[in-house]
Amino acid sequence: MEDAIRTERLRIVLGLEIHRVTDDLLRRRTLLVELWSRHRVRTPFLDTTFQRYRTLSMGELLLLDRRETEAVEAFYRELDDLRFYLSHTEDMPRALADTLDGALVRLRTVARVALGVLGTRLDHDDRAAAPWSLVDSSFEMAAELGGVGFGLEE
C-alpha cells in the first residue's frame, strides 16, 4: 500500500482513538468515580483508557511527521500517566475524583491539539477541508452528557 494512503489511515485511526478515549472518560467520569467508591474496581478505568497506540510498530509511527508525532505522543503520555495512577492508586473516592478532574482537563487540552494536528478539526478556516471530521472535537457535548461537575462528588 502506498505510504500516503497508510499515513492518512494512521491519522484517522489515531484521531478516532484519541477522541474515543477522551470522550469516554468525560462521559463516564461520574460513573467511574461511583464504581471506585462502591467496589474499588480498576477494570472500568483500564477498559476506558485502553489504547491501540502502544501496539503500533515503529514503521507505522514513522509515517507521521514530527509535529504529528509530538502531538500524539503528548496525548498518550498524559493518558499513560492517568492510566498508571488508576492502576495503582489506593486513594479515597474524593481524592481520586480530584486527580481525575485534573487529568481530564489536561487530556482535553492535549487531545484538541493532537486532533488539530492530525487534521480532524471542524473549523477548517481557509484551509482545505480535512478528509474526515468529528462531530464534537471540543468534547463539550461529552462533558455535558456525562454530568461532569469537576469536584462535585461527595
Q: What is the pLDDT along the chain (154 residues), one digit of tens a residue?
A: 699 999 998 999 999 999 999 999 999 999 999 999 999 999 999 999 999 999 999 999 999 999 999 999 999 999 999 999 999 999 999 999 999 999 999 999 999 999 999 986 433 443 434 445 666 777 777 777 665 554 444 4
**Residue 9: CA count within 13 A, CB half-sphere:** 8
Rounded to 10°, the helix 3-39/66-88 angle is 20
Other CB atoms within 10 A of residue 122 CB: 13
Measured CA to CA, the distance from residue 55 to residue 34 in angstroms comes to 31
State the residue for C-alpha cell 488539530. Answer: 116
Domain 3-145, classified CATH 3.90.1720, yes or no: no
Determine the residue type at 84.
F
What is the value of pTM for the model shown? Answer: 0.82
* Contact yes or no for 119/71 (Cβ under 8 A): no
